[in-house]
Amino acid sequence: MRRLIAGLGALALALGACTAGPGASSPAASGAGGGASFAAESTMAKIQQKGKLVCGVKFDVIAFGFKNPTNNEVEGFDADLCREIAQKMGVQPEFVETVSKNRIPFLQEDKVDIVISTMTINEERKKEIDFSHEYYHAGQSILTKSDNTAIQSVDDLNGTTVCTVEGSTSEKNISEQAPDAELLLFPSYSEAAQALVDGRCESVSTDDSILFGLASQFEGTELRGEPFTDEPLGIGIKKGKDDLVQFVNGVLEEMAGNGRWKALYEKHIKPYSGKEAPEPPFKAAG
C-alpha cells in the first residue's frame, strides 16, 4: 500500500511538472517595448490591452507549426510569423492549436486573433474570413520512398495506392489528376506518412509545405516532381478587422524589405526543401 501511495505521489509530481512545462518555457523571443502605439479603438490597441497576440497555429506540421516534444516549444515558419507580428505590437505571442476543421470558427468567436496554419486562400473561405497577403506559395506535391523510382510525377500515381487525409483538397485533386489511383485516407498526415513508411501505400500527396516536414521526420522518404497545384497560404483574420489586416500586411511587407522573410525561409524551410529562398510572394515595403 505504501508503495502504491509513493507511486501515486511520483505520478502526481510528474503530472505537475508537465503542466508547469509549457508555461515556463513560453518563448521570450518577443522584445517588450518594441510596439507602436495605436488609435484607442483599433483592434491592435485592444490586443495591446490584453498584452498578448493569440495565434491559431498547427502543432503537427514540421517547418510551419510544430510543437516539439523534446522542449515543448512551438516552432516553424508560421509560429515565427506570429512572434514577429506580436513583437511589432509589443505584446507576447500565445499559441493555440488549430486544425483545419475549427480554425475559421475560432476566428469568428475571437478565440484567436489571427490564424497562421498553412491555410490556403480560396474563394469559399474568403466569404467567411479575411486574408492577409499570400505569405507563402505552396503547391500539392508527392512524397514517396527514396528507393521508389517508379513514381516521378502525378501521372505515375495511377494504379498505385495514395495516402492522404480525408476531407482535404488534396484528396479531391488526386481523384481529378490521377483517377486510377486508389486512395487510402487517414485522420492526419502523420498517420498517412507512417503508412507510407510501412508500405501500406506508395506515396503521400498533399501541399509541399506539409510534405517537407514529413520528409525530414520520416527517414527514407523524399519529395518527387514539381508541385501540380497552386496553394497560396494566407493569414486568416476575422471579418470587420480591416485595421488588423492592414497591420499584418504592413509587417509582412517590412519583413520582405529587411530580409526577415528570407531569413525565416532559410531557417525553417530550406533545410527541408533544399532550395534557396525565393522572392516573397508579396511586395516589399517602400
Interface residues toward other proteins, by CB under 8 A: 11, 14-15, 17-19, 21, 59-60, 67, 69-70, 97, 99, 101-106, 108-109, 111, 161, 163, 166-167, 171-172, 184-188, 190-191, 193-195, 197-201, 217-219
166 closest CA partner among 138, 222, 206: 206
Nearest approach in angstroms of CB 269 to other proteins is 19
Dig out the grid coordinates for 37 from the structure: 502605439
Q: How far is the CB of 38 from other proteins (least distance, A)?
A: 27
- Give whichever of 67 and 224 is closer to other proteins, judged by the CB atom: 67
Shortest reach from residue 190's CB to other proteins, in Å: 5
Backbone angles phi, psi at 137, to 5 degrees: -105, 105
Alpha helical stretches, state H, 169-231: 169-177, 189-198, 208-217
Within 10 angstroms of residue 65's Cβ, the number of other Cβ atoms is 28
Report the nearest approach of other proteins to the CB of residue 250 (Å): 28
Nearer to other proteins, 50 or 172 (CB): 172
Which CB, 88 or 268, lies closer to other proteins? Answer: 268
Measured between alpha carbons, how far is 114 from 219 in angstroms, rounded to an integer?
33
| Residue 147 C-beta-side C-alpha neighbours within 13 Å | 5
Measuring CA to CA, which residue among 134, 131, 118, 136 is closest to residue 242?
131
Residue 6 or 14: which CB sits closer to other proteins?
14
The smaller minimum CB distance to other proteins, of residues 182 and 254, is found at 182
Q: How far is the CB of 104 from other proteins (least distance, A)?
A: 7
